[in-house]
């Protein structure tokens, strides 16, 4: 079986080495870069199956890298990692085309699951219509109030602001938010954002 090639781009040397070691142990072929522009400028980098990139780096950010790859029609899944995660950034990353968004610190299994999921999705990518229908089906059981809360989250608003907009308490927003996560059967905010965006919300 061919080893899958994963690139790690992070300006933090310790993080780079740690991720490279983890992926190497798990049987991936790994290459590391300190910057996104360093990777883009390496003509000999060869084919890549998945990219794991920090979002905040000197020069080109991970988000800009996703946009650049999309503009150049490079079909390679990108997983963004960040120590400064927020919902707005997650939504922006997903809309730009990132396949996942993981906040540091994270468990090794979370990253490995994201990489394996991205690699599995590659060869048999469902048509846009199919992905949209699947996403809509997962949101079908949401009440109108739960959809309101989801719209607020998609807009990058915090619970307190959503509560103010809807005339309910922040605690009630937390309950609706938990309901949304449970009904859509997602484990992370980035997964929820991906479904909502695929459904065209």
- Describe the crossing of helices 159-166 and 170-184 by its angle, rounded to 10 degrees: 110
Q: What is the pLDDT of residue 18?
A: 93
Compute the mean pLDDT over every residue in the chain, rounded to the nearest whole number.
84
Average confidence (pLDDT) over 21-25: 93
> Which residue ranges does the chain devote to CATH 1.10.10.10?
128-198
Mean pLDDT score, 161-176: 92
- Beta-ladder partners of 33: 9
CA gap 94, 200 in Å, rounded = 12
Partners of 103 in the beta sheet? Answer: 82
Q: How far is CA 107 from each of CA 25, 98, 113, 195, rounded to the nearest angstrom?
A: 15, 20, 10, 23
Interval 133-151 mean pLDDT: 88
**Domain 128-198 architecture:** Orthogonal Bundle (1.10)
**Beta bridge mates, 51:** 7, 78
Listed in sequence order, the residues at least 6 apart from 23 whose beta carbon sits closer than 8 Å to its beta carbon are 6, 8, 30, 115
Average pLDDT over residues 59-77: 87
- Going by DSSP bridges, is the β-strand pair 100-103/50-54 parallel, antiparallel, or unpaired? unpaired
Q: Where in the chain is the domain with CATH 3.40.50.2300?
A: 5-121
Q: Which residue, chain included where needed, has tokens 């999309």?
A: 70
Tokens of 128: 């846009």
CATH number for the 5-121 domain, one of 3.40.50.10420, 3.90.470.10, 3.40.50.2300, 3.40.50.300?
3.40.50.2300
pLDDT category of residue 44 using cuts at 50, 70 and 90? low
Contact 142, 151 (CB under 8 A): no
**Quick check: 51 pLDDT over 90?**
yes
- Dihedral angle, C-alpha 141, 146, 152, 155, nearest 10 °: -10
Q: Which of helix, strand or coil describes residue 163? A: helix
More confident residue, 80 or 201: 80
Contact 12, 54 (CB under 8 A): yes
């Amino acid at each position: 079986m061919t080893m899958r090639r994963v690139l790690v781009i992070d300006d933090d040397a310790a993080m780079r080495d740690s991720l490279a070691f983890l992926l190497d142990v798990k049987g991936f072929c790994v290459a590391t870069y300190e910057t996104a522009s360093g990777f883009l400028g390496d003509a000999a980098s060869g084919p890549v199956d998945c990219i794991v990139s920090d979002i905040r780096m000197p020069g080109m950010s991970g988000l800009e890298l996703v946009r650049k790859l999309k503009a150049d029609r490079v079909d390679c899944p990108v997983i963004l990692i960040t120590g400064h995660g927020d919902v707005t950034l997650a939504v922006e990353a997903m809309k730009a085309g990132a396949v996942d968004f993981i906040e540091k610190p994270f468990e090794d299994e979370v990253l490995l699951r994201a990489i394996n999921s991205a690699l599995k999705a590659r060869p048999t990518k469902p048509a846009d219509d199919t992905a949209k229908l699947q996403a809509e089906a997962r949101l079908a059981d949401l009440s109108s109030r739960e959809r309101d809360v989801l719209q607020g989250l998609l807009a990058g608003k915090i619970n307190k602001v959503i509560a103010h907009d809807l005339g309910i308490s922040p605690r009630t927003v937390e309950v609706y938010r938990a309901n949304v996560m449970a009904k859509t059967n997602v484990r992370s905010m980035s997964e929820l954002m991906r479904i909502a965006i695929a459904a065209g919300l």
